[in-house]
Amino acid sequence: MLEKPLISIVTVSYNAVATIEQTILSVINQTYSNIEYIIIDGGSTDGTLDVIKKYADKIAYWVSEPDKGIYDAMNKGIKVATGEWINFMNCGDYFVANNTLESVFGSGKIYKKAEILYGDSIQLNVEKKINEVAMLDIGKLQYFPIYRHGASFVKTEVHKKYLFDLSKQKKYGFALDYHCIYRMYSDGYNFEKIDVFVLSYLKEGISNNPFKSLLYNYRIATDDKFRFSCLIRFGLGVIRLSLERMKPLLFPFYNFMLFYVGNKIIANVPIWEIRYLFYSLLGVRIGHGSQIDMNAYLIGAKYLVIGNNTHINRGCFLDARGDCRIGNNVSISHNVSIVTGGHEINSSSFVEQHSPIIIEDSVWIGVNAIVLKGVTIKKGAVVAAGAVVTKDVDEYTIVAGIPAVKIGERSRILEYKCKCGFYFT
């Protein structure tokens, strides 16, 4: 049996008595057994040390002494780490689930080529939880960070070579973590995306200044040299952030264009090419030979990704706010509802909650079926008409009922492509 790698988890703290206990508990309650937990405190005086001492028997190493800021403290953590991989789970942040590390490193998982693993995050605020699915396109790292730093694991031997460059802190501010990541990327280290929600973090934090983030990212990506592509992205980013600041004014217009014009007028135009153009402008990514038939209702269009030769029939409800990825050769029948959103039942403020839905290649979903948030329907599976899918469906499995349960298996020899492109559909 393969030995599980030792994972070094580093928490940096300073006067964080209000948040550190939740962070500590999220680490020490992991079901994964091979953890080296390190806490670097900057000399707290508010009771933080009392919390750390409370769990001292679960902590491999901790120290409380003055430092030169968060990145100096993080460097101290890197220097004392002895694990194979290192992760930073700083105060106020915490692992999404108690089995997060097991999901990444358990069950004999081996990452032969990867030197940096990165996963997905959940942003928390008063009103809702927002799933942030990290980008697959690693090439985008040349322009901006594609994942949250706390959702990553770096080979410790690599991180010891790439400490946070404190001499650049004045220039790059709170983006010094991206500067470190950018150096690893530029020097050819291997990044690998993992489909695990790793990190939950509060929106209010040290780096919650989008305009400064944009400026720091631009400086890092250009190294003060002219790069036309970076300049264009910087300009577009400024425009986007400016429009977001104007959201209260633009929101009624946006809602009018999306919910009325898009879902009431454009959705009923009997020419797919016109609907395709409008959906593309909204941000839907639609593969070759795919089609969304008339009378569909879309929410969260920019988070909807559709593969090739996929057919979505009339009257479907597509809620992609929590991220919805539909594969190739998928057939979605009339009046199917795909719902990534919902609310926490026991939340006093009825907090919104979103989780991604993934529908893999060659899936067939029958008439009036409902697929609820957080579900993955794997390759070749069939969902019977009227079924309500509340949990993952295995490859080539046929499910039916409320809630949907397995009733059979499908042939694994599937050579068809869904036919789309009929006029007036």
Q: Which residues are catalytic?
A: 343
Counting every residue, how long is the chain? Answer: 425
Beta bridge partners of 389: 371
- CA 241 to chain CA centroid, Å, is 20
Widest distance between CA atoms in the chain: 71
> Do residues 172 and 219 touch, judged by C-beta distance below 8 A?
yes
Which uninterrupted H or E stretch holds 179? helix 176-186
374, 323 in Cβ contact below 8 A?
A: no
User: Which residue, among 96, 78, 101, 283, has the nearest Cα to 162 in the 3D structure?
Assistant: 78
Q: Are 138 and 191 in contact (CB under 8 A)?
A: yes
Q: State how beta strands 317-319 and 337-339 pair.
A: parallel
Q: How many CB atoms lie within 10 A of CB 138?
A: 16
Which residues make beta-bridge pairs with 312?
292, 332
Return the number of other C-beta atoms located less than 10 Å from residue 380's C-beta: 23
Query: Which residues have C-beta within 8 Å of that of residue 129, sequence separation ≥ 6?
Result: 122, 123, 351, 352, 353, 354
Neighbours of 86 (CB within 10 A): 25
Cα–Cα distance, 154 to 100 (Å, whole number): 16
Nearest CA to 72 out of 149, 14, 146 is that of 14
CA distance 375 to 380: 15
Task: Assess contact for 307 and 379: CB atoms under 8 A.
Answer: no
* Nearest alpha carbon to residue 41 among 77, 92, 87: 77
